[in-house]
Amino acid sequence: MNRTSAAPATENLNVAGIEPMPSPHQLKSRLPLGSDAAQTVLEARRALRRILDREDERLFVIAGPCSVHDPHAALEYARRLRDLALRVHERICVVMRVYFEKPRTVSGWKGFINDPRMDDSFHIEEGIGRARQFLIDLARMGVPAATEALDPISPQYLGDLVAWYAIGARTSESQTHREMASALSAPVGFKNGTDGDIMVAVNGIRSARLPHSFLGIDPQGLTAVVRSRGNRYGHVVLRGGATPNYDSAHVALCEQALDGAGLPKNIVIDCSHGNSFRKPELQPLVFRDCIHQIAEGKRSIVGLMLESNLVAGSQPIPEDLSKLVYGCSVTDPCIGWETTEEIVLEAAALAAAPRRGRPWN
């Protein structure tokens, strides 16, 4: 018996719509990098690689909002951070935290790229363009950017403007993200798991150092097989879990795990998240503790991360966006600018003082 009727649909049954995006090439043609911006990115990557290779004895500090939601306020923050970076550049390499994508346990605002208008309208094409323009503005100012590599497509649109990447606690164990990290052009910090497991990060670093072949997109936006060379600048980011893990005992355990895996003993401490119980007022305590560990000779701590904004704390996203407090986080609570400036200057001053450990100059 001949059957001429069409087969019933078996795919996209839960897809409400598919909308085209500009290709990475199209977006970059509209918003080109420029030689001055490229120089900022290349110099920052070079400095971070030298720190990780122990050719530059400075500490690096990544500071900035938990997430960018207002580019105008974030640029004001960037100008202040640039001025601070110039004051401490002999001792500390400063990079701005610029997070556009927010992983969610269940639900919530997913970040500037996903929902730039903060009204669940999800104008992703607008978000990726505005994110690129913001990164260009930063780089032209001489401010390098650090961000989280969450969506595996985003680096094709933004990766030429990023100096440092994080692979988050929820994705450090993901094969997709380990493969992506192996192809990224910048150093990559792997965070320990949400439960505090550091081997998730250690194994992520090991995997990312190897060549991989995986599905991605090319500059024209076409599906392609990406073949990576491997990224040897992976390192651990201790961000705490159920309990903090920034203290000297946990750092020593992390050193042992890295040594056992045959990896460089490079550790970054995230002063927020589980290490501060998500309480911004505890971030300076964590930061100062780590600085004292370094001053006492803890050579493995090469970087620190701060969630910092113009205004301390956080706020819910109101229905009337005109009621948003300028320069205040809409995701995790942050320390304010004055506290940020104070503790970074303290760190630079301590670096210049006599100490028992390695020099920072």
Residue-wise pLDDT for 107-162, tens only, equals 688 999 999 999 999 999 999 999 999 999 999 999 999 999 999 999 999 999 99
In the chain, how many domains are there? 1
Q: What is the number of other CB atoms lying within 10 angstroms of the CB of residue 301?
A: 22
At 166, the amino acid letter reads A
Q: Could you give the 3-state DSSP secondary structure of residue 164?
A: strand
Q: Which residues, in sequence order, are CB contacts of 298 under 8 Å at separation 6+?
A: 248, 251, 357
Q: Is residue 19 part of a domain?
A: no
Q: Is residue 357 part of a domain?
A: no
> What was the pLDDT predicted at 133?
98
Largest CA distance in the chain: 91
Query: Predicted confidence band at 360 (pLDDT cuts at 50, 70, 90)?
Result: very low
Q: What share of the chain is helix, strand, coil (3-state, %, to 5)?
A: 40, 15, 45
Q: Is residue 9 part of a domain?
A: no
> What was the pLDDT predicted at 113?
96
Domain that holds residue 260: 36-126+139-352
Q: Encoding tokens for residue 105? A: 């346990």
**CA distances (Å), 312 to each of 273, 280, 330, in order?**
15, 8, 11
Q: Is residue 205 part of a domain?
A: yes
Q: What is the pTM of this model?
A: 0.94
Q: Is residue 296 part of a domain?
A: yes
Strands, E, within the chain: which ranges?
Answer: 59-64, 92-97, 145-148, 164-167, 188-191, 213-217, 223-227, 234-238, 267-270, 301-307
Q: Is residue 26 part of a domain?
A: no
Average pLDDT over residues 31-58: 97
Q: Is residue 16 part of a domain?
A: no
Average pLDDT over residues 288-311: 97
CATH number of the structural domain spanning residue 78: 3.20.20.70
Q: Is residue 260 part of a domain?
A: yes
**Percent above pLDDT 70 for the chain:** 95
pLDDT tens by residue, 249-290: 999 999 999 999 999 999 999 999 999 999 999 999 999 999
